[in-house]
Every structure is written in structure tokens, then in C-alpha cells.
Amino acid sequence: MAKRKKAPKLITPAMLRDSFDRRSMVVGVLQGGVGVLLATRMGYIALAESQKYQMMAESNRVNLSLIPPRRGWILDRDGQPIASNRADFRVDLIPDRVIEKEKTLDELAHMLGLDEIALQDVRDRLEKARGFQPVEAGSHLSWEQFAAISVRQPDLPGVVPQRSFSRYYPSGPCVGHLVGYVGAANAKDYEKEHNPLLITPGFKIGKDGLEKVYDQVLRGEPGARRTEVTASGKIVRDLETREDVPGKPIKLTVHAGLQEYASRRIGTESGACVVIDCLTGDILCFVSMPSFDPNSFTDGVGRLEWKMLSDDDHVPLRNKLLHGLYPPGSTVKPTVALAFLEAGLSPTASVNCSGGLRVGNRVFHCWNHHGHGSVDMAKGIYQSCDVYFYHFAQQIGMDQIAKTMRKIGYGQKFPMPFPSQSFGTVPDPAWKMKKYGKEWAIYDTVNATIGQGYVQVTPLQQAVIASRLASGKMLFPRLMHDDKIGTPASLDFPQEHLDLIHSAMNEMVNGRGTGARARIPIPGVQMAGKSGTAQVVGLNIGNGKGGLWRHRDHGHFICFAPFDKPRYACAVLVEHGGGSGAAMPIAKDVMTYMFDQQKAWDALAPLEAGWGGTPQQRQATKYRAYAAQYGVSAPAVQDSDEALARESEADARPAPQPIQSDAAPPAPEPQADDTPAPAPAPSATPSGTAGPHP
């Protein structure tokens, strides 16, 4: 075309025609070139890369969805379900696929009838979830609601209505601390285990307690459904379906009825109760109250529920049974007496109690300032005389006492299917030197022998101690029904020593002792026990019986029945119950349940009427009150999983023990005619463990 540059000045139509011919060739060649290019391109896509695109078309067309497996049941010792599944219509949101969030939420709220509070909770969950993580928008839908959402699904991308199974705990809060709870996997869970099942809507993993520890057993194998779907996710037809394999059940030694009874019997108190079979070590009930309702945790905790839980000074999220550490108070005395016998002290050796014991230039007081008169070992136990123990403990020495205490279960950790447990302290001179670099002092022995000072136990240990005292055998608590029962080794206490302790503990309840309120109304069955009151604050702050709830004494009671042929051992703790008087009636009713369930239920009915119903009913009432008071103004839940984890971590750490520099004043023991413990008053700060302050 360079020729054109030096073209002649005069241009004729013929020249233009020539130019047209030439240029039409150029255009024609360009057109042909484009045609060849298109044919080549098509050949490349349709022939060379055909396989790749066929696969992509297939993965477009076919949607493989996992069917969450039905979770294995948790059964009690008789096969009663503690955790089961129920068929459920639910709807989830996949945040990544939701296009118009507000519009979608509005539609859902309208179709599901969500109120402001529920909608806020869905919004919170949506905010926290990673994009791929399904978020529950509603469960337990009616068939009509489910059908309505299913019809609208193509217009609401990211909304997944589903027919599935959801976890169900028939007795709700009564088993919270026993089984833990399940919930949707969070981002951290997914990082740990890159399993597509974890982000399948409706799939839950164990988040705490047994549900977490036995998650792999309970989980099962997911089923799969291959469906042909349109671009908008509408299912055209099912291609094939593989059924899920339900998880295996786990069986506990717990008795579901007793578990529920004991939980309800604790009522509005904050406490723990454990019953152990004295022949096998089976844990028959494993109760820490108040508790969260694992049913409501399954869907993720809402703001109001979270506020309720965190406001409660009874700390419903803490497993007091495994993680609460308390001075055992006088419940330590039978063990100390056993140590005296081991050391060769005659049970008839007596000391005169005049209300106090002078050692050097100091006087250590007995809880009974009027004095007990002449006290031998049996009377020392059933009247809980402090002077008796002050006196002989100094003769025998702390090392001997600590040895027997450790043997019987103080300070021991048991093999339990929980990630952590506390184990308390058995102090002795070597321990004190190691921990504080200080010499053991007389007041340390004085404190230890009445279960104050450095001594700390968990309610679970208390129950094991009771069962070992009762059986004389090295029983270990057993929670899983399939674990082997070994023949428990003997603790090598002479039977006459044990008989002596047993009869003194029986006397305490059924004779001249301080525990008349724990007598069980079963003819022919006598329960032996020992009460204990652990001071929380010094007498200069409060007397431990009234005043601020968190300043009141902890109440303990350990017992077993029948006293002459021990079958069941039980330990009850009531935090800030104002003394052992709060624990004894609970222990009495729980042990009554072991022999006559109807009698026990009859005793509970009027009490529950006074408390405002079962724990579930009371929680529902409280929720309504909160909803009315706070509405949607409650602060957002940060991360309930993490908050719970923090809670149990904090529990697992040993409680700070201030160094003791003086004798703890002994806590008063209840008299037979004692008035019932005062009802707990609301107070601001929760208090779990607290030793007496110097």
C-alpha cells in the first residue's frame, strides 16, 4: 500500500475502482482470517479442552450434598436416653451465598415469625460466621413454614431449608455439665479437621463434656445425595442417595432418673451432687447446678441467654463438680480419725472439751463455745468436736494424717472422660516448705484437721472419699458403662477401724449427732454421714449464715447407706448455703431416691412449687423477664465456644491460696433443731472457692 504515498495528483474513477478491488481483497482476507480464527478457537475449546469442560459441566449439573449422620445416643445405665435426636425441619444460611442480606433476613423473619430478639441473634451469628460456615436461622419449624421456605428457596440464594435430626436432651439443664453440648463447627474446628462434613448445614460436633470427648464415636458416617440442580440451586431430580451410618451410642453409668432428681433437688441453690455405687465405683449421678440448657446451646447461644448466664452469680457455666475447689470443713474428720486409728490411737482415748484448747499461749476454739465435755473418737465425729481433733492431731502429726488423706482420695486425680479436672491440696510440712518456703506451724495442723486452711477438695473427690470410707476399697469413679470394672483393691484399713468410723457417722445422723436432718425415711435403712461447713470469709466480715450470699459458708455433706452394709455413697456441696444445714436435706432426699423413688418425688413436689417449677420452667420464666427488660439491647455474645473454654480453663487452674498465718475459726455445726438455711439472696459477684482469710 506504500504505492499510495506517491500516487498521481489526478485521480480517476477507474483508479478508485482498482483501489476498491484491492481493498475489498484486504477486507475479505480479514474476514476469512476471523473465520479461520473462530474455527480454530472452537476446535481448541471443543476438542482439545473438551474433557476439562465436560467435567466442569458435570460439576455444575451435579450437586453432591452430604447428609449429616445421626449422632449416636447417650444412654444411661438402663438404656434410657440422656441425649437423643429428633426429626426436625430447619433452615440454615450460607453467608457466602446470601446476596441481599437484609431482604433475605426480612423474608425469613416474616416466614418464620421471628421476633426482634431472635432476628438479632441470627444477625449476630451471621456476622461471626466465616463465609462457608452454615448459620442456623431457625429450627423446629412447622411443616407449613418449612414448605413455604422451600418454595421461595430459588429466590433466596444462601437459604437452605433442610429436614434433619437435631440433638435433644430430654432433661435439659439437668445434664448440661455431664454431657456438654453440640454446636456447628467453627472456623477453628475446620482448620483442625478439613472435613467437608463440618460445613454441611445441620451437622453439629461435640463442643464440651462427653459430647466433645466421644465426638468421633458419636459422629457416625455421613450419607450423600447426588442431585441434578439448576444454577439457582433448585433440585431438578435426585440421582442417587447413600444413607448415613448413625454414630454409635455411648452408655453411661449414670441413672437418668437420679440425675434429673438430684439436679432438680438442688433447686435454686448453687451446688453439686455425686452418688457413687460402693461396689463398683459407678457414678450414678453427676450433677452441677445451676447449669446451662444444652438444648439451647445447640443452635448457638442468643444474646439474652448469654446475658442470663453471665449475669448469674451462681455461675451456671462452671462445672463445680470437677472444677470447683472448696475447703472440706468437718467432712475431713472421719478421715483424720481413721488416721489416728492407723497411728495406733485408742478409740476410747478422750480429751475434755471446754470450748477451746490452749496450746502454748494461744487458745484454739471449738465451734461449740460451751464445750463438749469428755470427748472420745466417736463423739468427736458425731458431735464434730474440734478440740478432740486439735488435741490428738498434734500428738499424731500432720504427716500421718496427710498420708491417710491421700490414700482415701484427697488430692487425687481420677481417670475421667473430661479434658481437665481440679484435684485440690493435701497440705503437709514438706508441701508447705516447697510451696511457701515456710515452716509448718501448729495452726496449720489445727486448720487442716478441721478441713480449713490449705485443704481443698472437689465435690467429685468428696463422693469418692465417702465411697472409700464406706467400702474400705480403692474405688475409682467410673462414668462409662463399657469401661472394665476391676476388683477394687483393699485400702488395708482394718475392718474394725472402718466399723468404728461407720457407727460414729451413723450416730451423727441417727443418734446423738448433729445430722438429724439427714435421716432418711426408709424403714430398715440407716444412712451414715458427716457434715461440713467451710468458711468463705472471716468472722470479722460475716458470721457465714446470713448477709451477702457470697459471704456465706459453703455446706458439705458426705454420706453412705445403709451404714452397716454400704451400697451407695453420696456427696453434696451447696455453695454459700450458709453451712452444712443446706446440704443435708438434699443428701437425704437424693439417698431416699435410691431406695424409694416415689417418696423422693413426693418430697420434691412442694419444694419445686415454692421455687417456681423445674429448672427448665424457671429458666423460661427468667428468659421472659429478661426479654421484657432488655429486649434487643443485650450486648452481643463474643464467642460462646471461646468463653466457655476460658471458663473451664480458669477452673482447671488451682485457686490462689493465700498463705495462712493463723488458725481458722471453726465453722458452727448445725443442731438438730436448726432453722433451715436462709434462701440465697442475689449478690453481685460470683464466688467459687475461697479459703478463710487470715
Binding site for other proteins (CB under 8 A): 1, 4-5, 7, 10-17, 19-21, 23-24, 27-28, 31-32, 34-35, 37-39, 41-43, 45-47, 49-50, 52-54, 56-58, 60-61, 228-232, 236
Q: State in angstroms the smallest separation of the CB of 109 from other proteins.
A: 27
Q: State in angstroms the smallest separation of the CB of 27 from other proteins.
A: 6
Q: State in angstroms the smallest separation of the CB of 9 from other proteins.
A: 8
Q: In sequence order, which residues have a C-beta less than 8 Å from that of residue 246 and are 6 or more positions away?
A: 69, 70, 71, 72, 220
CB 647 within 8 A of CB 431: no
Q: Residue 565: enclosing H or E segment and its boundaries?
A: none
Taking the least distance from each CB to other proteins, the nearer of 60 and 638 is 60
Pairing state of beta strands 74-75 and 250-251?
parallel
Q: State in angstroms the smallest separation of the CB of 223 from other proteins.
A: 24
Residue with cell 485457686: 655
Cell of 85: 435426636
Taking the least distance from each CB to other proteins, the nearer of 42 and 659 is 42
Q: State in angstroms the smallest separation of the CB of 155 from other proteins.
A: 14
Q: Of 382, 383, 375, which Cα lies nearest the Cα of 352?
A: 375
Q: Residue 205: enclosing H or E segment and its boundaries?
A: strand 205-206
Query: CA 405 to CA 426: how far, in whole Å?
Result: 7
Beta strands in 219-372 (DSSP E): 223-229, 235-242, 250-251, 270-277, 283-289, 351-353, 356-359, 362-365
Q: Of 443, 442, 425, 441, which Cα lies nearest the Cα of 433?
A: 441
Q: State in angstroms the smallest separation of the CB of 236 from other proteins.
A: 7
Q: State in angstroms the smallest separation of the CB of 57 from other proteins.
A: 4
Q: State in angstroms the smallest separation of the CB of 257 from other proteins.
A: 54
Beta strands in 418-526 (DSSP E): none
Taking the least distance from each CB to other proteins, the nearer of 16 and 64 is 16
CB 623 within 8 A of CB 656: no
In terms of Cβ atoms closer than 10 Å to its own Cβ (0-12, 13-18, 19+), residue 360 is exposed
Taking the least distance from each CB to other proteins, the nearer of 7 and 147 is 7
Q: Residue 189: enclosing H or E segment and its boundaries?
A: helix 187-192
Q: State in angstroms the smallest separation of the CB of 242 from other proteins.
A: 23
Residue 233, CA distances (Å) to 27, 56, 102, 155, 239 in order: 47, 16, 20, 10, 15
